[in-house]
Chain A
């Protein structure tokens, strides 16, 4: 797990910068806001202790919050997602359990497993985030539409990001 450390530090900084400098400026027709930075939480190792997962979720959300003037919004959504992660992983566990030394990525467990796993987490995160943001149920369907369209877009970005990092792992 220690050997993954530099890679995750790099991931954290890289995804945060991409989110702040590029993706926060993207807006398609007022409904689509992709949030790629949660890929950092999604791909953390299986063996990570629960408390560390929550703390990392909080800090990655908080960094985004500080840069976008929304204290607490991203942090609460990311913590919620980190909380769900162990349960979602348990539901989708393969028959012979997760192999030691692997991490939850498309390269190790295939696209269909990864899609099911990440769609649930991304949807949970976006749902929490957008409803915390409007803080009311009055525009439920317009907010829900934002959640769904943003989820689709984030998933597309996540797959593209995974395909890029997959090339390095072929030689394992």
Chain B
């Protein structure tokens, strides 16, 4: 026993190193489990509060860009107002009735923390459970899709951004309707790859890439970007297309979170079908 204690005292530095290193590596490996506990993620109150305060300052410096974006969006929305259409009896009129039901609800939120330089990039927003945000809601900005809500605390939520190698999004080519999965390779924050487009499809540089709407997270047709480069490896049956993202992740201030009213119903039905 005495020898054992002497051994521990003699090598306490190395032993302690192995213990602490093992704890840290366990944290890394249990990454997903720990993500759920809000204490360690930036949606927790303390860290969220610090980022919020920092952001209040940083946002001031970005006011010019934000104003420009908002003005553009105003103009776009104004052009969709009934007043800006010429009334014509030859066409249908939009009638509010009880047959149609609102399917998607949009809530605005502010980005208070954001990263673009890691393999796994996350965004923190200033709205949370109390504002009706739930995990797995889609997040878009006025320029296109941004990501999917991962964790929610009472007042904050974290979002996996599209430029996160853990996220895959179902996307399609707007022109031809062929769909595939959109993935990030972890290098440039402006580019992602659209995979699984079959070689008989007609893909051109400049084609728009939009969400497919299959996953019930995003509505169909939310802009993701446009095709910048199409490559076809010898013998491969799928194209590898590089897509330039429409959203500039370096310059992200206001986003909208999409709630899907009948999502639970859709998922339940799909699960029943799979179980059969």
Contacts and interface: CB of A to CB of B under 8 A. Distances in A.
A26 B189 CA distance: 12
B186 to A, nearest CB: 8
Contacts of B118: 33, 68, 70, 133
Contacts of B226: none
B24 A24 contact: no
Nearest to B22: A76
Contacts of B186: 134
Interface in B42-90: 42, 47, 50-51, 54
Interface stretch (B26-34, B125-133, B265-273): B26-34
A72 interface: yes
A69 B24 contact: no
A79 B120 contact: no
Contact of A26 (B40, B117, B122): B117
A67 B114 CA distance: 11
B35 A30 contact: no
Nearest to A142: B187
A22 B190 CA distance: 21
Interface residues of B, number: 37
Name the interface size band of chain A: 20 to 34
Contacts of B27: 65, 71-72, 75-76
B28 A71 contact: yes
A84 B188 CA distance: 33
Interface string A42-59: 000000001100110110
B120 A69 contact: yes
A37 B118 CA distance: 17
A12 B61 CA distance: 27
A50 B16 CA distance: 9
Per DSSP, are chain A's interface residues mostly helix, strand or loop, or mixed? helix
B25 A30 contact: no
A7 B189 CA distance: 38
B34 A79 contact: no
B107 interface: no
Contacts of A120: none
Nearest to B40: A71
21 contacts: A24-B115, A24-B117, A25-B117, A30-B188, A30-B189, A50-B13, A50-B16, A51-B16, A66-B40, A68-B42, A69-B42, A69-B122, A70-B120, A71-B27, A71-B30, A71-B31, A71-B35, A72-B29, A79-B24, A133-B118, A133-B119
